Structure 1
Amino acid sequence: MAATMSRPKLVSQVVEQAPENDLTPGQLSLFENLVYAICREDAEVNQANAAFEQLKDRFFDFNEIRVSTSREVATCFEGCSEPRTRALRLISLLQDIFEAIFGFDLESIAKKGAKPAQKQLSRYKSVNDFTLAWIGHRVFGEQTIPVDSGMRRCAGRLGLVEAECAKDTEETRVALEGMVSKTKIDSFVGGLQMVAQKYCHEILPDCTNCTLTKACPESGKFLPPVPVKVAKPKASKKPR
């Protein structure tokens, strides 16, 4: 079992795992961030980026996606977990937005500010805590940390949050927001998602290859036992 590490040091270790190809805040509009959040939840950065680009490349526009079947849209999420579920969420989101404003331009909502915008967006069935926190930080610059199920699991195993806290998304988010500075949020989220998706699986985590094994107090439960070398008995001398 790894030695217990302080939470500030753990945060620094997670930040160091951040991928270099993450999108920068302000790069996407409010509407695009809503779509991207569905791609990004429980996915690595490269998986989310690929899915987002596929959505834009394979369809003429988002209205075409809205009227497409979930099977057609799911092909864009290949490589991500639960592609059909993501497709259904995206179609539902697009339908809700279109029925509300007959289009997809949400900049008038963005101009209202973080709280009013998040309150209005929370009415859409496909918008969850991860999405609202993602919008809060990426669009409005708030100190909010989007937390998905993989991040909760990984944060609990690392000891960033207590085990009971890690069972609840909102509690985990609030706890992490108290220990990660605003300037480090993007790197922290990217790093924790990478570890969660690549190594810290719910079943049979790959602790042997995980980049945070030495910092993780739970790794000893999943690492294969070290083989014990048994000394061969010395051959007895034959009597002359």
Structure 2
Amino acid sequence: MAAAKQTKAPGRQDSIRRILESLEKRYRADFRVPEEQPVLETLIYAICLEDCTFAEAETYYQRIGTLFHDFNEARVSSITELSQVFVKSPFAEWKAFRFRHLLTHVFESFYEFNFESLLRKSNEHANRLLGRIPELSQFARNYTMRHCVGINLLPLDDRMRDALAWLGLGTAGQTPQRTASALKSIVRKNEADRFCGLVRCLANDPLLIRVLDSEKEEDPRPVHEVTTAVERLEILFTETARRKRKSTAGGKTAAKKTAKKTAAKKTAKKT
């Protein structure tokens, strides 16, 4: 059994390497390297980032400072008001709900908006303290434990879990934590940020989201093989490129038609 496991792991590692190479070609401009931030700000960014693209998370995070004078003003704001931070997100109210709970918990615990005391705790104690924050998602906890405390974790959200299942690296319907746990020994520690970042880019690609929604209608738990992942990615990306070309061509055709109509009107007026 041990020998079989040793043979299997390198195969999956090679598949992951090929998948990441394919994703990097496609999403190089969309990928972001996590920035070092204080604990509270990391938690807030994690709430912004969950089930979203990097660009969307940056917009939400910056909008907090634009819409509110400080964290205290945000803390006493209504969910409706806080939802404006996450406008256009299908999870706007949930994000607002978690954001306000986080600010309230930190302020009532320390009488200031500072959570750096977490860094002086043991790993187990730090995880326990994060678990006391009402409504905080497991993704936000894991993201903070990785980027602030330095624990080797793969912070996965629901969309990333679904993308990994489509790649054949997870099981549809299982929790993101179980998917992460199964991959932890296969994804190298120094590759974890790159792995999570590129998977996030794929997970939030509108075309993949449509593919996943279509598959779920036919089978709630479709099974995919990791050995065909790169080929399926190529098909997906080719379809995306085809749609873009079609959209561009359609736009040019419409512009030409408009120009012809305008020219015809001018000619008619002259006559």
TM-score between the two structures when normalised by the length of structure 2: 0.69
Match of 1:209 in 2: none
Shift of 1:34: 0.7
Structure 1 residues 55-94: aligned runs within 5 Å: 55-94=64-103
Match of 1:197 in 2: 204
Match of 1:236 in 2: none
Match of 2:104 in 1: 95
Shift of 1:160: 1.3
Q: Deviations over 1:176-234 (max 9, x none)?
A: 222222222222222111111123214248xxxxxx975438x79xx8xxxxxxxxxxx
Match of 2:232 in 1: 216
Distance 1:103 1:215, change over 3 A: farther
- 1:170 paired to 2:186: no
What code does the residue aligned with 1:200 have?
A: L
Which one of 186, 189, 195 corresponds to residue 182 of structure 1?
Answer: 189
Partners of 1:47 and 1:89 in 2: CA distance: 17
Aligned-pair identity in percent equals 25
Gaps in structure 1 of 5+ consecutive residues: 206-211, 224-240
Shift of 1:44: 0.3
Shift of 1:110: 1.6
Shift of 1:93: 1.5
Match of 1:37 in 2: 46
Match of 1:208 in 2: none
Distance 1:178 1:153, change over 3 A: same
Match of 1:24 in 2: 34
Partners of 2:21 and 2:230 in 1: CA distance: 14
What code does the residue aligned with 1:24 have?
A: P
Which one of 107, 112, 118 corresponds to residue 121 of structure 2?
Answer: 112
Shift of 1:20: 5.2
Match of 1:227 in 2: none
Q: Do the aligned residues in 1 keep the contact of 2:19 with 2:230 (CA within 8 Å)?
A: no
What is the aligned-residue RMSD (CA, Å)? 2.8
Match of 1:226 in 2: none
Distance 1:108 1:83, change over 3 A: same
Shift of 1:12: 4.1
Q: Do the aligned residues in 2 keep the contact of 1:25 with 1:139 (CA within 8 Å)?
A: no
Distance 1:85 1:174, change over 3 A: same
TM-score between the two structures when normalised by the length of structure 1: 0.77
Distance 1:80 1:23, change over 3 A: farther
SS in 2 for 1:6: helix
SS in 2 for 1:195: helix
Q: Do the aligned residues in 2 keep the contact of 1:19 with 1:191 (CA within 8 Å)?
A: no
Match of 2:146 in 1: 137
Partners of 1:132 and 1:63 in 2: CA distance: 22
Shift of 1:175: 1.7
Distance 1:123 1:129, change over 3 A: same
Distance 1:215 1:178, change over 3 A: farther
Structure of higher RCO (CA pairs closer than 8 Å, 6+ residues apart): 1
Shift of 1:46: 0.4
